[in-house]
Amino acid sequence: MRETLEKIKAEALEALSAPSANIEDLRIKYLGKKGELTAVLRGMGKLSAEERPVIGQLANDIRAEIEAKIEQMTAERRAREIEEKLEAEKLDVTIPGDKIAQGHFHPLSLVQRQLEEIFLGMGYSIVEGPEVELDYYNFQALNIPKDHPARDTQDTFYITENILLRSQTSPVQARTMEVQKPPIKIISPGRVYRSDAVDATHSPLFHQVEGLVVDKGITMGDLKGTLEMFAKTMFGEETKIRFRPHHFPFTEPSAEVDVSCFVCGGKGCRLCKGEGWIEILGAGMVHPNVLRMCGIDPEIYSGFAFGMGVERIAMLKYRIDDMRLLYENDVRFLNQF
Ligand code: PHE
């Protein structure tokens, strides 16, 4: 019986030492109610009175030893698990973080914002109008009746005979004057449409910023001063402006406005095509017919208006030679701004 006990002990201790041992299974196998040690103890009745306490003592010692081994192995295993967990979840706070890709404004938005900034600084408010517009506001209220030849230069997309995609931001002038009495001092940025084929300088959708000032005693001098201020802020302090006579049905007199070339300073270069001047906008004094149609008395009030293409300004400012680049959303292009 002593040998059996020693054998159980040796086996149990060895089994428990194996790294892959299932400790709970082994505990049941050796120490459980139906376990090997218990089986031996049950046979103790057959022993002599002298032997019984000796074997009993031995059995208890062996049980204690196995229990101690189980405890030791369990503790070791738990320690190893914690160790592994710590290793796996190790966090190195000194590793540089991943960069988060950050977006930014599109060049057209940048320029539009800069334009807004400049005119807000001069006391203008921003007014927006609908892109789907009535023929009345896009043309008729601007002194361009049906069948007027000026419509040819601004052919657009018609939804019905009287509803169209606005070809300019000027209808916002008429809409504003109808509901607001002078003094009026607004700019109106937004999308406009024309039925033009796409090429390096044309797009069926582009952007304009319109300006309108109406009050008592507004003159062409005010227009000139305003645009000069604008040009200097936009293109640099040395910039000069030049008015060339032109015709718009809704302004009289009308002008096309050039700025001195901000690359060569007026000597002539590739950007200004040797001219020294670059055309940037259309402007003029609001036509009395337009004031009258919008309910403003031209005998009391006068005003000026101007309109410019955001694409054109952006292309000049950033030396972009093909308008299509602005709409293709190629990040290699957009990342440059
Ligand atoms: N709306 C005109 C255009 O698109 C520009 C303009 C605006 C001219 C205001 C004069 C006054 O060509």
pLDDT band per the 50, 70, 90 thresholds, residue 134: very high
pLDDT given for residue 190 in this prediction: 97
Whether 8 has a pLDDT exceeding 90, the answer reads: no
Ligand 1, from 115, 168, 186: best to mutate by most atoms within 8 Å of Cβ?
A: 168
User: Same domain for 146 and 295?
Assistant: yes
Whether 76 has a pLDDT exceeding 90, the answer reads: no
Whether 7 has a pLDDT exceeding 90, the answer reads: no
Residue 100 lies in a domain: no
Mean pLDDT of 74-81: 89
Residue 52 lies in a domain: yes
User: Same domain for 67 and 158?
Assistant: no
Query: Among the listed ranges 149-153, 181-185, 306-310, which one has the minimum average pLDDT value?
Result: 149-153
pLDDT given for residue 150 in this prediction: 87
Last residue of a domain, one of 30, 61, 88: 88
The proportion of the chain whose per-residue pLDDT surpasses 90, expressed as a percent, equals: 69
304 in ligand 1 pocket by Cβ < 6 Å? Answer: no
User: Same domain for 206 and 146?
Assistant: yes
Residue 102 lies in a domain: no
User: Same domain for 73 and 178?
Assistant: no
pLDDT band per the 50, 70, 90 thresholds, residue 268: very high
Whether 281 has a pLDDT exceeding 90, the answer reads: yes
321 CA distance to ligand 1 centroid (A)? Answer: 23
190 in ligand 1 pocket by Cβ < 6 Å? Answer: no
User: Same domain for 51 and 150?
Assistant: no
306 in ligand 1 pocket by Cβ < 6 Å? Answer: yes
User: Same domain for 181 and 281?
Assistant: yes
Structural domains counted in the chain: 2
User: Same domain for 68 and 159?
Assistant: no
pLDDT given for residue 332 in this prediction: 94
Which tens digits make up the pLDDT trace of 138-171?
Answer: 999 999 999 999 899 899 999 999 999 999 999 9
Q: If you take atom 5 of ligand 1, which residue's CA is the nearest one? A: 307
Residue 231 lies in a domain: yes
pLDDT given for residue 37 in this prediction: 82
Ligand 1, from 213, 220, 248: best to mutate by most atoms within 8 Å of Cβ?
A: 248
Residue 224 lies in a domain: yes
Which tens digits make up the pLDDT trace of 85-132?
Answer: 998 988 888 999 899 988 899 999 999 999 999 999 999 999 999 999
pLDDT given for residue 21 in this prediction: 84
156 in ligand 1 pocket by Cβ < 6 Å? Answer: no
Nearest ligand 1 atom to the CA of 283 is 10
Q: If you take atom 2 of ligand 1, which residue's CA is the nearest one? A: 307
User: Same domain for 48 and 140?
Assistant: no
User: Same domain for 213 and 305?
Assistant: yes
85 CA distance to ligand 1 centroid (A)? Answer: 71
pLDDT band per the 50, 70, 90 thresholds, residue 72: confident
Last residue of a domain, one of 59, 88, 117: 88
User: Same domain for 83 and 145?
Assistant: no
pLDDT band per the 50, 70, 90 thresholds, residue 269: very high
User: Same domain for 243 and 178?
Assistant: yes
Residue 116 lies in a domain: yes
Last residue of a domain, one of 36, 57, 88: 88
305 in ligand 1 pocket by Cβ < 6 Å? Answer: yes
Q: If you take atom 4 of ligand 1, which residue's CA is the nearest one? A: 168
Residue 15 lies in a domain: yes
Nearest ligand 1 atom to the CA of 192 is 4
pLDDT given for residue 49 in this prediction: 83
pLDDT band per the 50, 70, 90 thresholds, residue 202: very high
Nearest ligand 1 atom to the CA of 254 is 10
Query: Among the listed ranges 57-66, 143-152, 240-249, which one has the minimum average pLDDT value?
Result: 57-66
Instruction: Reduce the secondary structure of the chain to three states and give it as a string.
Output: CHHHHHHHHHHHHHHHHCCCCCHHHHHHHHHCCCCHHHHHHHHHHHCCCCHHHHHHHHHHHHHHHHHHHHHHHHHHHHHHHHHHHHHHCCCCCCCCCCCCCCCCCCHHHHHHHHHHHHHHHCCCEECCCCCEEEHHHHCHHHCCCCCCHHHHHHCCCECCCCEEECCCCCHHHHHHHHHCCCCEEEEEEEEEECCCCCECCECCEEEEEEEEEEECCCCHHHHHHHHHHHHHHHHCCCCCEEEEEEEECCEEEEEEEEEECCCCCCCCCCCCCCCCEEEEEEEEEECHHHHHHCCCCCCCCEEEEEEEEHHHHHHHHHCCCCHHHHCCCCHHHHCCC
Whether 312 has a pLDDT exceeding 90, the answer reads: yes
User: Same domain for 8 and 152?
Assistant: no
CATH of residue 187: 3.30.930.10
307 in ligand 1 pocket by Cβ < 6 Å? Answer: yes
Ligand 1, from 187, 218, 250, 308: best to mutate by most atoms within 8 Å of Cβ?
A: 250
213 CA distance to ligand 1 centroid (A)? Answer: 14
Q: If you take atom 6 of ligand 1, which residue's CA is the nearest one? A: 307
Average pLDDT, the chain: 93
pLDDT given for residue 157 in this prediction: 97
121 CA distance to ligand 1 centroid (A)? Answer: 22
Residue 93 lies in a domain: no
Q: Domain limits at 79? A: 2-88
pLDDT band per the 50, 70, 90 thresholds, residue 196: very high
